[in-house]
Amino acid sequence: MTDQGNFQLQDRSSEKLWQSFDYPTDTILPSQVIDRGGILSSRRSETNFSRGRFQLRLQQDGNLVLNTINLPTDFANTPYYASGTDDGTNSSTSGMQLVFNETGSIYVSRKNGESLGLADGDLVSSRDNYIRATLNFDGVFAQYYHPKNGSESWTYIWSIPDDICRILLDSGAGVCGFNSICTLYQDQKRPTCKCPRNYTLIDPNDEYGDCKPDFIQGCAEDELFRSKGGEVLDLYDVMEKKLPLSNGRVDNSLNSRGFIKVRKAEYSILPNGSHGLSPEIIEKEKDQDTLILVGSVLFGTSVFVNILLVSAFCLGFFFIYRKKKAKTVIAQNVFEMNLRCFTYKELEVATDGFKEELGSGAFGIVYKGTIQLGSSIVVAVKKLNFVAQETEKEFKNEVNVIAQIHHKNLVRLHGYCDDGQNRLLVYEYLGNGTLASFVFADIKPSWKERTQVVLGIAKGLLYLHEECSTQIIHCDIKPQNILLDDYYNAKISDFGLAKLLMMNQSQTHTAIRGTKGYVAPEWFRNIPITAKVDVYSFGVVLLEIICCRRSVDAVSNDDGKEILTDWAYDCVVEGALDALVSWETEALDDRKKLETYVMVSMWCIQENPSVRPTMRKVVQMLEGVVEVHVPPCPFPAYSITN
């Protein structure tokens, strides 16, 4: 063990065979250097020394970054700090090493011999103090000192970033857990996490952990409505954030305030875990004594004054009651105003006897029709082949769930029909047809149009998986289930129908669903089905959009090109993307995006679902805000144990 804290293994000639300085964990010491590709990893928590989700990396391009990773993988998220010492346009200024020299200075050594210091201000003496720099479990990279001749604890010197609470992390929870609020007080250098009012820590021993509500959740009215300014707003007009809340923080520089809706205080979970009246309602009962006092005063005054007061009370109560009742009626009928219930006869007339067929699939046949909703509106009417929900209430509940899901890249539901054995859904009509007719047409769409469609599909799936009130796994993503509006914006159809047809979904073992060529491998194995099945299907569709050809071409005369995913990977390995896009000039002029899109597709079609990215990560990679690494072979020989 050297005086610098470096543990070494040496041979008889004192030649170093191995040293701990080459394998840092969360801390570096004076005289220690990190080369390109080197990493510091935080611990999991203050007392858990296993690998955490924060990293400090000197990337291969010379940029020093702080980022989170998606445990248990090494997949890096967007950096929340970067030194700016990457290759860029001037490779001579790119970073070569992160140096912690003997005097206690920490800096990035550039290729041209210059250096970029990470901290400003005076340094403490390394002669009189022990010095270290640690990537803490809360994502803060900080330097500390400890007097060699003293009993004091480690003292903070500087850190990056300055305020970790104000950093928006894209990995789910922020520095603090879900539903928690992060605050950095002026006299502190480390963040403090607190649960909002009416929330408590799931694990009382983990102050940086997740918070849970102390009140009962789940009533339908809470999911359907929220109030603002005394008015009931329909979910079609309000995009609500999916719970749990992430990245909660206090930021006094913003002139704004956030609100969390909680259940009224009358009924809550008491500290002992039972349900009952809260202390607030008990306090209200005490206030009844005040009402008795008011009554006594009334009877002690003149009859005329009493009549005036009583009349005023009654009149006020009448208006309040009527207003409250009106709001209740609005709340009860808001779905009926936005989701219309049709009779079978109405839809038969609207479609001229189901005359013009637009398409058909596993869920049923779609017909073109015209309905009256203030004016004549062209719609697409889907006749469902089979619905497992036997009662009218069950069917209506499932349809209402679908109706709540509203996004610019999802086809909107206008209404439904539940008339005996006839059950139909009425959707908006999109004049430019399906993605299949667009991409596989004789005339190839432009590269710009295709990339626009790709992003639209990805964002629609992201909304279904993570941002709507209830996660929806589509289970049948394919070009025939993606429609295009008048401006060629992509809209996903048939979402929610898998659940409507009583197909068990998340974390369950199910019968195979989907379409040949787009079905994820886990459907054929006895393993849980998750949202990653949609990621796989999206990867196949992405390749089809890039190449303007179908995923399976049984009549192809070119050996090795019958299966698009196999051929595309061969092209990636051989560096033959030109052939993949048939030497299309517009796509090759945008080669960086082309390479990114192809690599993203390779990540999506990984045989092992745990290796595939989430749709949030897919969108970030497609938009260029997250670095896309070279993917492994999507089809390795591997086994999954039950």
Cα 440 to Cα 8: distance, rounded to the nearest angstrom? 63
> Does the structure show a pLDDT above 80 at 353?
yes
Strand pairing report for 192-194 and 231-233: unpaired
> Under a CB-based contact definition with an 8 Å cutoff, are residues 495 and 409 in contact?
no
pLDDT per residue as tens digits for the range 266-280: 545 554 444 455 555
CATH 1.10.10.60 fits 437-642, yes or no: no
Query: Could you report how far apart the first and last alpha carbons of the chain are, in Å?
Result: 46
Query: Would the CA dihedral through 163, 169, 174, 178 be positive or negative?
Result: positive
Lowest mean pLDDT among 211-215, 439-443, 461-465, 598-602: 211-215
So what's the pLDDT on residue 80? Answer: 87
More confident residue, 337 or 316: 316
Give 486's contacts (C-beta < 8 A, 6+ positions apart): 430, 431, 432
H helix or E strand, kind and range, residue 438: helix 435-439
Cα 331 to Cα 25: distance, rounded to the nearest angstrom? 56
So what's the pLDDT on residue 301? Answer: 47
Cα 608 to Cα 101: distance, rounded to the nearest angstrom? 44
Lowest mean pLDDT among 7-21, 70-84, 184-198, 309-323: 309-323
| CB neighbour class for 83 (10 Å; exposed up to 12, middle 13-18, buried from 19) | buried
Query: In Å, how far are 324, 329, 470 from 230, measured between CA atoms?
Result: 10, 14, 26
> Under a CB-based contact definition with an 8 Å cutoff, are residues 347 and 417 in contact?
yes
> Does the structure show a pLDDT above 60 at 202?
yes
| CB neighbour class for 367 (10 Å; exposed up to 12, middle 13-18, buried from 19) | buried
More confident residue, 198 or 306: 198
So what's the pLDDT on residue 421? Answer: 80
So what's the pLDDT on residue 98? Answer: 92
Give me 273's structure tokens.
């875990």
Give me 576's structure tokens.
């033959």
pLDDT per residue as tens digits for the range 241-257: 445 677 788 776 666 66
Cis ω for the linkage preceding 72 (within 30 of 0): yes
Give me 28's structure tokens.
């570096």
Residue 383 assigned as binding residue: yes
Q: What is the mean pLDDT of residues 145-159?
A: 84
Cα 412 to Cα 10: distance, rounded to the nearest angstrom? 70
Cα 505 to Cα 346: distance, rounded to the nearest angstrom? 34
Cα 492 to Cα 406: distance, rounded to the nearest angstrom? 11
Give the three-state DSSP class for 517: coil
Cα 434 to Cα 484: distance, rounded to the nearest angstrom? 6
Give the three-state DSSP class for 498: helix
> Does the structure show a pLDDT above 60 at 240?
no
What is the 8-class DSSP label of residue 9? Answer: E
Query: In Å, how far are 156, 167, 192, 545 from 187, measured between CA atoms?
Result: 12, 19, 12, 55
Per-residue b/e over 149-180, b at no fewer than 16 CB within 10 Å? eeeeebeebbbbeebbbbbebbbbbbbbbbbb
pLDDT band for position 361 (50/70/90)?
Answer: confident
Q: What is the mean pLDDT of residues 73-97?
A: 80
pLDDT per residue as tens digits for the range 15-39: 989 999 988 999 999 999 999 889 9
Give the three-state DSSP class for 528: coil
> Under a CB-based contact definition with an 8 Å cutoff, are residues 145 and 154 in contact?
yes
> Does the structure show a pLDDT above 50 at 191?
yes
Give me 483's structure tokens.
């429609």
Cα 338 to Cα 409: distance, rounded to the nearest angstrom? 19
Please identify which of the residues 476, 494, 534, 566 carries the catalytic annotation: 476
> Under a CB-based contact definition with an 8 Å cutoff, are residues 426 and 413 in contact?
yes
Cα 531 to Cα 505: distance, rounded to the nearest angstrom? 9
> How many Cβ atoms are within 10 Å of 344's Cβ, its own excluded?
16
Task: Name the β-bridge partners of 155.
Answer: 145
At 529, phi and psi to the nearest 5? Answer: -100, 125
Axis crossing angle, helix 447-462 with helix 532-547, rounded to the nearest 10? 170
Cα 145 to Cα 148: distance, rounded to the nearest angstrom? 9
> Does the structure show a pLDDT above 50 at 231?
no
Is 187 in the active site? Answer: no
Task: Name the β-bridge partners of 135.
Answer: 141
At 41, phi and psi to the nearest 5? Answer: -120, 135
> Does the structure show a pLDDT above 70 at 527?
yes
pLDDT per residue as tens digits for the range 456-468: 999 999 999 988 8
Q: What is the mean pLDDT of residues 280-300?
A: 44
Query: Would the CA dihedral through 372, 430, 471, 463 be positive or negative?
Result: negative
Beta strands in 31-93 (DSSP E): 32-35, 39-43, 51-58, 64-68, 81-82
Write down the mean pLDDT value for the chain.
79
So what's the pLDDT on residue 255? Answer: 64
The position carrying tokens 């745990």 is: 610
pLDDT band for position 102 (50/70/90)?
Answer: confident
H helix or E strand, kind and range, residue 491: strand 490-492
Q: What is the mean pLDDT of residues 294-310?
A: 52
More confident residue, 143 or 468: 143
Give residue 218's region: left, alpha or beta (phi > 0; psi -120 to 50).
left
Cα 452 to Cα 422: distance, rounded to the nearest angstrom? 38
Per-residue b/e over 240-257, b at no fewer than 16 CB within 10 Å? eeeebbbbbbbeeeeeee
**The most confident of 118-127, 196-205, 327-336, by mean pLDDT:** 196-205
pLDDT band for position 48 (50/70/90)?
Answer: confident
Lowest mean pLDDT among 363-372, 518-527, 539-548: 518-527
So what's the pLDDT on residue 197? Answer: 85
H helix or E strand, kind and range, residue 296: helix 288-299
CATH architecture for segment(s) 8-162: Orthogonal Prism (2.90)
> Under a CB-based contact definition with an 8 Å cutoff, are residues 136 and 76 in contact?
no
So what's the pLDDT on residue 510? Answer: 44
> Does the structure show a pLDDT above 50 at 260?
yes
What is the 8-class DSSP label of residue 507? Answer: T
**The most confident of 210-214, 244-248, 394-398, by mean pLDDT:** 210-214
> Does the structure show a pLDDT above 60 at 154?
yes
DSSP H stretches of helix in 87-146:
none
> Does the structure show a pLDDT above 90 at 170?
no
> Does the structure show a pLDDT above 70 at 111?
yes
pLDDT band for position 69 (50/70/90)?
Answer: confident
Q: Please give the share of the chain, as a percent, with pLDDT higher than 70.
A: 73
Q: What is the mean pLDDT of residues 130-138?
A: 91
Query: Would the CA dihedral through 528, 529, 531, 537 be positive or negative?
Result: positive
Give me 164's structure tokens.
């970790």
> How many Cβ atoms are within 10 Å of 264's Cβ, its own excluded?
10
pLDDT band for position 180 (50/70/90)?
Answer: confident
Torsion of CA 492, 531, 605, 512, to 10 degrees: -90
> Does the structure show a pLDDT above 60 at 221?
no
Give 249's contacts (C-beta < 8 A, 6+ positions apart): 165, 166, 174, 181, 182, 183
Extents of the domains making up the chain: 8-162, 185-286, 288-338, 437-642
More confident residue, 365 or 177: 365
Give me 160's structure tokens.
């990056």
